[in-house]
A and B are shown apart, each in its own frame.
Chain A
Amino acid sequence: MKGIVFNLLEEAVTMEHGDAAWLHLVEQAAGRGTYSSLASYPDAELLGIVDQAAAALSLSVPEVLRWFGEAAMPLLAERFAGLFELHRSSRSFILSINDIIHPEVRKLYAGAACPHFHFAEAEDGRLILGYQSQRQLCNLAHGFILGAARHFGDAVEVEHLSCTHSADPFCRLALSWT
Chain B
Amino acid sequence: MKHAQFPIREAAGDADAVLVDRLRRQLQQERRARRDAEAVAERGLRELYESQVRLALLQRITDFANQSNDFADVLSVALKEICLHMGWEFGNAMRVSDNGSTVTACDTWFASDPERLFAFVEASRRLSVERGEGLPGRVLRDNHPHWIDDIGEEGWFLRRAEAADARLISACAFPICIRDELVAIIEFFSSKPMVDKDAILLTITQSATQLGRVIERERARATLIHDALHDAMTGLPNRVLLDERCREAFRRLGTASTGIALMVIDLDGFKAINDKYGHHAGDALLVEATRRFQAAIAAFEQANPRAGHATLARVGGDEFVVLLDSVADCAAVERLAEMLHDVLRAPTWVDNDQVAAGASIGIAHSSDAYDDVEQIRRDADLAMYEAKAAGSGRTVTFTDALGTTVRNRMALERDLREAIRDKQFLLYYQPIFSLSDGPSLMGYEALIRWQHPTRGLLDPGAFIEAAEESGLIVFIGDWVLRQGCSALARLHKRIGRKDGSTLPFVSINIAPQQFLQPNFAQQVQRVLIETDVPPDCLRLEVTEGVAIIDSERTRQVLEEIRAWGVRTSLDDFGTGYSSLSYLQNLPFDTLKIDRSFVASIDDPKSRNIIRAILDLASNLNLSVVAEGIESQAQGRTLIEMGCEYGQGFHLGIPLDEKSAFALIDQQHTG
Query: Interface on A for B, CB 8 Å cutoff?
Result: 7, 16-21, 24-25, 36-38, 56-59, 63, 67, 70-71, 82-83, 86, 96, 99-100, 103, 106-110
Contact = CB atoms under 8 A, between A and B. Distances in A.
Contacts of A21: 6, 8
26 contacts: A16-B1, A16-B3, A17-B6, A19-B24, A20-B6, A20-B8, A24-B6, A24-B7, A24-B8, A36-B34, A36-B38, A37-B38, A38-B38, A38-B42, A56-B7, A57-B4, A82-B196, A86-B195, A96-B193, A99-B192, A100-B195, A107-B45, A107-B46, A107-B50, A108-B42, A108-B45
Contact of A59 (B2, B27, B34): B2
A86 B193 contact: yes
Nearest to A21: B6
Contacts of B192: 96, 99-100
Nearest to B49: A107
Interface in B615-662: none
A83 B34 CA distance: 23
Interface of B: 1-4, 6-8, 24, 27, 34-35, 38, 41-42, 45-46, 49-50, 87, 192-193, 195-196
Instruction: Give me the 9 closest cross-chain CB pairs, A-B, nearest first.
Output: A21-B6, A20-B8, A67-B1, A107-B49, A37-B38, A57-B4, A107-B46, A108-B42, A86-B193
Contacts of A108: 42, 45-46, 49
Contacts of B34: 36
B321 to A, nearest CB: 63
A134 to B, nearest CB: 25
A36 B192 CA distance: 32
Contacts of A56: 4, 6-7
A160 to B, nearest CB: 18
A89 to B, nearest CB: 13
A108 to B, nearest CB: 5
A83 B192 CA distance: 13
B510 to A, nearest CB: 100
Given A37-B42, A108-B46, A110-B49, A99 B87 contact: yes
A33 to B, nearest CB: 11
A83 B6 CA distance: 35
Nearest to B7: A24
Given A19-B27, A38-B41, A82-B196, 16 more contacts: A16-B1, A20-B6, A24-B6, A25-B6, A36-B38, A37-B35, A37-B38, A57-B4, A59-B2, A71-B1, A86-B193, A96-B192, A100-B192, A106-B49, A109-B45, A110-B49
Nearest to B47: A107
A36 B41 CA distance: 11
Contacts of A71: 1
